[in-house]
Structure 1
Amino acid sequence: MPHIKNALIRYRIIDKALGNSYNPYPTKLDLRYACEMELYGDTNGKHISDSTIEKDLFAMRQELDAPIKYSKAHKGYYYENPDFTINEKPLSEDDIASIQFALSTLSQFKETEMFQNFGFALNKIIDRVNVDSDSRNTDVDIDQLIQFEKSTAAIGNEFLQPLLSAIKNQHIAYFTYESFVTQVRKQRKVTPLLLKEYNNRWYLICFDSVKQKVITYALDRISDLEIIEQKGEKPSDFKPDLFFRHSIGITASSEARPEKIVFTASNVAAKYINSQPFHESQKLVKENHELALFELFALVSEELIRELLSYGGDVQVLQPEGLKNELIKRIQKMRENYNL
């Protein structure tokens, strides 16, 4: 059974590698390294052989109808149909059994300190697997009975493992980064410091050797990642557990200073804001049957501004003055957009 489970996992790792537009035409060695890293955390070649990858590719063609081809020109493998993915295939009984086995093990530890931050995610996976298992015994399409929240494909997740290894060993990383604002692609040389997830996207917090400061880069805009076994620069004052303590979202800076933010919210909006606070420092100061007064101590960031604007006229910022003026400027721009 463990061999079967490992093979099923390797199929999905290979599938992800073949669908990676940032690294097209992976070689047999690339596929082996990807499987080694995902399953064992290293690429020393002790666990998976070339023949194992060859058997996996053959099995994927035969059992999953995967349109895997070899390009002599590019000396690598690819999907003849670029839209193909085995993720569109329904889970087999072996898939379900493997996932249930793993989840039953993990669920025993979800209340421990190590897993407390992942309890919600584990519960969602357990719910989904249980629902899928039950649905196999009925003729009703499960989507007609229950719908789960869906997220967009997480581009760049294949970089998580090598970047995590670079953080552990303080190794230097090179990659190409495309700016959202300018669409310009530039080469970066950094020392990875921390990986952070926000809104179903992963971000790399690192010390940029050219800019000589800590910068945040989104993994979905990274390509051509290369880790070299050379020690990089790491700021002595960088503390991963403290870097985001005053942040809302992914915006953080060692130079920026948090501010006291005071705002009011209508009675209904206040209930939502109180149940899902903007920041852990948020507190309800007072309320009546019409309004609630909130305070929090955090960095003024783009994420906070968008959260506040999402409540429209149900929220009014009282301080700081800079945040209030920024909101007024954006509201005026919205009025112009609608000719008001």
Structure 2
Amino acid sequence: MKKDFYLTRYALIIKKLESAPVTYSQMEDYLLNSFEFQDAGIKSYSIRTLQRDIREISNLFNLSIHNKKKGDNRYYIESRPMMEVDEYNQKLLESFQVSNALNNHPDFANFIFFESRKPTGVEHFYDLFFAIRNKRIVLFEHYNYKNKLMTSRKVHPLALKESKDRWYLIAIDTKDKALKSFGLDRINYLDITPQKFREKYKYNFREHFKNAFGVMNLTEQHPQKIVLKCSRHQGEYIRSFALHQSQKEIKETPTDIYFEFFLHPTYDFMQEILSYGKEVKVLEPISLVEDIKKHLQESLNSYLKD
């Protein structure tokens, strides 16, 4: 068994057990017939290896896998980690699967094409993660695209959030004690100071962003029901890859699919809707409908002026 193949095995085992409990022989058959095992030229998989893999999966991903439940000899996932850890595990497994494909096949550049547009600032990720865990006061320069100014910031870092392939630092700005978000791609001259902040902030960011789309300031808005009418073509895409965790399909016709959401009608969400053009129409709330109309009219006016 190849030593550098273990992460791929873990990913395949978890994928199989998430679909249904299986016996050792069923797992062996599944793994040996997978394209990953075929590409690696692996033709055997012992029960001892499975048992060792299960122990390592438990240590690495906090997944409890057992068998012989009430006389049953099938393996099954007995317990899962809390939701946020499970989401991290899923991203980790996806990274493992992609990494394994690239490492095992040097000619991948002829077949796999990555997005060439990459956000900057990711080099700050671990430093800020360290600062959050250790309550370190952070200093940096932050660039504002709107007013084109670079300002000095002193913050208490509290969380990191991903939104549309960009990372943001969620922190308390000591200047006005306000909770703000700072794009990592606009942070310069980062300094993780040795000084710790003593304040105990009681934010529950999982709840704070539960009804959010993006990282816009939510203090001035309340989440509300939003209904979209989508063309069947676009609706199928939105159905397969939800815009938000609150998404519910409420109606379907031969030509359209209707979705309901419960979230803050932020500028970020409006921009997302506008990106679909005529394929998606907001039905409610009226306030968001009017905002969309105003934005579209202003866009049209800018073209008419030329």
Q: What is the Cα deviation at residue 149 of structure 1?
A: 3.0
Amino acid at match of 1:143: A
Q: What is the Cα deviation at residue 297 of structure 1?
A: 0.6
Maintained 8 Å contact 1:243/1:252: no
Q: How does 1:59-78 map to 2 (within 5 A)?
A: none
Residue among 240, 251, 256 paired with 2:221: 256
Aligned-residue CA RMSD (Å):
2.7
**Structure 1 pair 233–188 and aligned structure 2 pair: CA distance change class (3 A):** farther
Q: How does 1:74-93 map to 2 (within 5 A)?
A: none
Q: Deviations over 1:13-56 (max 9, x none)?
A: xxxxxxxxxxxxxxxxxxxxxxxxxxxxxxxxxxxxxxxxxxxx
What is the aligned partner in structure 1 of residue 178 from structure 2? Answer: 213
SS of residue matched to 1:338: helix
TM-score by structure 2 length? Answer: 0.68
What is the aligned partner in structure 2 of residue 314 from structure 1? Answer: 279
What is the aligned partner in structure 2 of residue 187 from structure 1? Answer: 152
Residue among 235, 241, 244 paired with 1:270: 235
Residue among 269, 290, 303 paired with 1:325: 290
What are structure 1's unaligned runs of at least 5 residues?
1-96, 136-140
SS of residue matched to 1:268: helix
What is the aligned partner in structure 2 of residue 123 from structure 1? Answer: 94
Q: How does 1:19-168 map to 2 (within 5 A)?
A: 100=4, 103=7, 107=11, 108=57, 109=60, 112=63, 113=81, 114-120=85-91, 122-135=93-106, 142-144=108-110, 146-168=111-133
Maintained 8 Å contact 1:278/1:304: no
Q: What is the Cα deviation at residue 111 of structure 1?
A: 8.5
223-232 or 311-320: which moved more? 223-232
Q: What is the Cα deviation at residue 134 of structure 1?
A: 3.1
TM-score by structure 1 length? Answer: 0.62
Structure 1 runs (4+) deviating above 3 angstroms are 100-118, 141-144, 151-154, 233-237
**Structure 1 pair 246–268 and aligned structure 2 pair: CA distance change class (3 A):** same
Q: What is the Cα deviation at residue 331 of structure 1?
A: 1.2
Amino acid at match of 2:247: Q
Aligned pair 1:199/2:164, yes or no? yes
Q: What is the Cα deviation at residue 122 of structure 1?
A: 3.2
Q: What is the Cα deviation at residue 110 of structure 1?
A: 5.7
SS of residue matched to 1:214: strand
Maintained 8 Å contact 1:159/1:219: yes
What is the aligned partner in structure 1 of residue 49 from structure 2? Answer: none
What are structure 2's unaligned runs of at least 5 residues?
12-56, 64-80
Q: What is the Cα deviation at residue 294 of structure 1?
A: 1.7
Q: Deviations over 1:67-121 (max 9, x none)?
A: xxxxxxxxxxxxxxxxxxxxxxxxxxxxxx99x4684587445694335434255
Maintained 8 Å contact 1:207/1:234: no
Maintained 8 Å contact 2:218/2:264: no
Q: How does 1:167-186 map to 2 (within 5 A)?
A: 167-186=132-151
